[in-house]
Amino acid sequence: MGVLPPQPFCPEDIPGDVTVRAMTNDDWDAVLPIYGEGIATRNATFETEVPAHADLDATWLARHRWVAELDGEVVGWAALASVSTRDYYGGVAETSVYVEDGMCGRGVGKALARTQIIAADQDGLWTLQTSAFPENRASIALYRGLVDRTALRR
C-alpha cells in the first residue's frame, strides 16, 4: 500500500464532440445497459446484475447524475452516492463513471468526471471517493488523471 503522486488534471482537456448533461428519466433505457456492460466485464463492480431503476434512483444523489452524449446518443453515465447517513459525512460521496463498450479512450469518462467534480464543488461536497479493481485499467487511468491525492493503493 502507498500514496501515488497526483497527476495534473486540465479541465479544458475534454473532447469537443462529447456533451455532458443532467440525467433525466428518459435516459434510464440507455443507462442501465451501459451499467450491464460494466458488470459483464467482472472488473467494474461487485454487482452481478443490473440493479432496478428504483434502487438506483434511491441510491444516487438526485443533483449528481449525468449522461454523456456523442452524436446525440448516450455513451456513458456518472452518478454520486452518499457514503453514509451520518451528518458529518454529508460532504463525502462515492463516484461512479461508466462508459459504453467501444468508447473508452475517447474522453467520455473524463468529461463525465469533470462535470461531477465541478457540480460537487458547487454543492459543497468536499470529498469524492471511489474504489477500482486493479484489473480495471481504464478506471484507474481515469482517476489517476483526476485525483488531487490517492490515499491508498493495495
pLDDT (average), residues 125-134: 78
Q: Which CATH number fits domain 18-146: 3.30.70.260, 3.20.20.150, 3.30.530.20, 3.40.630.30?
A: 3.40.630.30
Structure confidence at residue 149 (pLDDT): 55
pLDDT digits (tens, 9 = 90+) for 70-99: 999 999 999 998 877 787 777 888 888 889
Query: What percent of the chain shows pLDDT beyond 70?
Result: 83
pLDDT digits (tens, 9 = 90+) for 12-43: 667 778 999 999 999 999 999 988 887 777 76
pLDDT at residue 66, rounded to an integer: 97
Average predicted confidence (pLDDT) for the chain: 81
Contact 105, 96 (CB under 8 A): no
Distances (CA, A) of 151 to 13, 17, 55, 144, 154: 24, 33, 30, 11, 10
pLDDT at 1: 38
Map out the domains of the chain as residue ranges: 18-146
